[in-house]
Chains A and B, each alone.
Chain A
Amino acid sequence: MLRALALACAIAATGCAAYQRGDGLSPSVIPPELQADYELFASRCSRCHSLARPLGARVSSAAHWQAYVTRMQRQPGSGISPDDQPGILRFLAWYSANRHREDVR
């Protein structure tokens, strides 16, 4: 058991040291006017899954994002209210336009 625990800790430490990168975006790459929208997105969209899900989704059009977020909002217990939608969609529109950038990707 101790060997398994040591192995797990070693992997975790190595990984942390090598990659200081989570599923989300670094706040430094997000324009100041969208920081609050990103915080809203990160908070609401990580309750049931990691942020890798929406950030990895091959969605680009505003209409498709609208349908995507509406579908998620109506999942029971999603925690996304109608008031949250505009901010989340503003961030996703910016992300779609900038996802090709190295610092965003």
Chain B
Amino acid sequence: MRGPRLAAMVFTAGVFLPFAARAVDFNFAGTLQLDYLFTPLSLDRPPLGRRPFDGFTQELSLKVAADLSEHVTANVKVCYGCHGFEVGMAYVDYRLGGGVTFRAGRFSPSFGEFGLRHDPGNHRLPDKPLPYDMGRMLHLLEFDRSVLPAPYVDNGVEVLGHHSLGRAVTLDWAAHAVTGLRARSEAPYDIEFTQSRQLPYIDNNARPSVGGRVGLQFRIAPRTDLTVGASTLYGPYDNNANLQYLVAGTDLWLRIGRSNIRAEYLYRRTDMAAGDQARFEQPLGPMGAALPASVAQHRDGWYIEWEQPVLRNLDLIVRWDGLRRSGNVRPNSPLDSEAGISRLTLGTHLTVSRGFRVKAAVEHYTIWGLREQNSQEIAAHLGVVATF
């Protein structure tokens, strides 16, 4: 009950505190998405008996932004989804001169391009790209989630810069220090993303994680823009601060007229607690040698997405995305040491009325390295989203 109670308190404070001050402009916004994920077909074998994610998922977010003065804005956002209520934002921005902003509180550290659009009201397909998936990819549990499930929300501080370099080039940069991703088990195999999102929102190892992003935008022509960026996150995640993670990514966005092409590549290196051969399937080192305290697993993922408006209220979207994992595995793992997913998605995004849209998509999965499972599967999404 602590989660809903805290969320309600934070949201209530966010809504009513602005009224207590004079001359405060505030803005209320929200999103509601209901999506049905249908997994009807396996192309190689009969459908599996256990399909935990065949069904409805709902995401709700409510946000208040209060412009407390010319330089200060407070933002509070509460989300309700598969994990229950969560605080998605609770931070203050202080805008300094020269395009620099200081941010403190609970926020999504700047990383990649999709982070700006993680809200279901802001991305055109029903679900997220595989490197950012947070629960609706097929075989989620076998793969133990994606590269960096979005939104990644954390406590800390961030400094952001936005500068024009002439009329055609803009530079964005951000640097942050935050609590960091975490795992509460004593000998983790990986970051525990569900733990990282749960109360209490405090550090498990008293060592911050750091990171940042640099992006350049080029105005190539009046209706043509190009953005390229690079991001990173680094820090310890276990209770003793002995195991590290490094996440790095590059992103690209190209708009020509009303067409958008987006692409990202993400890589994550994560230390796994070793020291005991019984915890792993493959040898940790040469026979007779001392066992290492940790071994690394590697994950990478990518997407390339093309959004093409075909009518004033209808977009077609094509996306190719993927996720790979490599490294030693635990005994009886459902995965080989090299495993991955490649997915092709065809979707539509129909605006029925301003703020109310229908999303539909068909996804074709090709999976390798998943023992005793299908290598090709089909999934379909049908959902509605309202923004207000």
Query: What are the residues of chain A within 8 A of B253 when measuring CB–CB?
Result: 47, 77
How many A-B pairs have beta carbons closer than 8 Å: the answer is 156
Contact across chains for A5 and B174 when beta carbons are under 8 A apart: no
Contact across chains for A16 and B380 when beta carbons are under 8 A apart: no
Known: A15-B358, A23-B354, A23-B355. A82 touches B387 (CB 8 A): no
- Interface status of A98 (Cβ within 8 A of chain B): no
Interface of B is mostly: strand
Query: What are the residues of chain B within 8 A of A5 when measuring CB–CB?
Result: 362, 380
Distance (Å) between the CB of B320 and the closest chain A CB? 18
- Interface status of B331 (Cβ within 8 A of chain A): no
Query: What are the residues of chain A within 8 A of B362 when measuring CB–CB?
Result: 1, 4-5, 8
Map CB proximity to A onto B259-294 as digits: 1 under 8 Å, 0 otherwise: 000000000000000000000000000000000000
Query: What are the residues of chain B within 8 A of A81 when measuring CB–CB?
Result: 164, 167, 170, 219
Contact across chains for B25 and A49 when beta carbons are under 8 A apart: no
Chain B contact residues (Cβ within 8 angstroms of A): what range?
Answer: 35 or more
Query: What are the residues of chain A within 8 A of B173 when measuring CB–CB?
Result: 76
Contact across chains for B350 and A76 when beta carbons are under 8 A apart: no
- Interface status of B162 (Cβ within 8 A of chain A): yes
Distance (Å) between the CB of B306 and the closest chain A CB? 15
Partner of A67, one of B67, B110, B164, B353: B67
Q: Roughly how many angstroms separate A68 CA and B70 CA in the complex, as a whole number?
A: 10
- Interface status of B308 (Cβ within 8 A of chain A): no
Residue of chain A at shortest CB distance from B312 = A22
Binding site for A on B (CB under 8 A): 25, 27-29, 38, 40-41, 65, 67, 70, 73, 93, 95, 99, 101, 110, 113, 116-117, 119, 121-122, 160, 162, 164, 167, 170, 172-174, 213, 215, 217, 219, 223, 225, 227, 229, 253, 255, 311-314, 348, 350-355, 357-358, 360-362, 378, 380, 382, 387-388
